[in-house]
Amino acid sequence: MKARVHVSLKPGVLDPQGKTVGDTLSRLGFSEVGEVRVGKIIELELEDGLEPSHAEARVKDMCEKLLANTVIEKYEIELA
């Protein structure tokens, strides 16, 4: 079983990395680009045979304890 966690900055939190990417794209001639935000994707290989609801709760726990800084970041969990 695999889990995919998408960690991104909460709306309203400044994203200097995204700003730099956006500015650089404009300078390269991609004038159609507006705001750019950069986030992380964490792909976890989980033990087989876990119950999906249990797995989701465990991954949520991982996010709260390590994977996301919940003061400024939000996360979405996808199981596959």
Interface residues with a copy of itself (CB under 8 A) are 6, 8, 18, 21-22, 24-25, 28, 30, 32-47, 50, 55, 58, 61-62, 65-67
Q: CB nearer to a copy of itself: give 65 or 71.
A: 65
For the CB of residue 67, give the shortest distance to a copy of itself in the complex, in Å.
7
CA-to-CA dists, residue 60 to 26, 56, 68, angstroms: 37, 6, 10
Q: Would you say 31 or 71 has its CB closer to a copy of itself? A: 31
CA 70, CA 9: separation in Å to the nearest integer? 9
- Tell me if residue 2 falls in helix, strand or coil: strand
| Tokens 């986030």, residue located | 39
Work out how close the CB of 23 gets to a copy of itself at its nearest, in angstroms, rounded to a whole number.
11
Tokens of 17: 């990395």
**16/34 with CB nearer a copy of itself:** 34
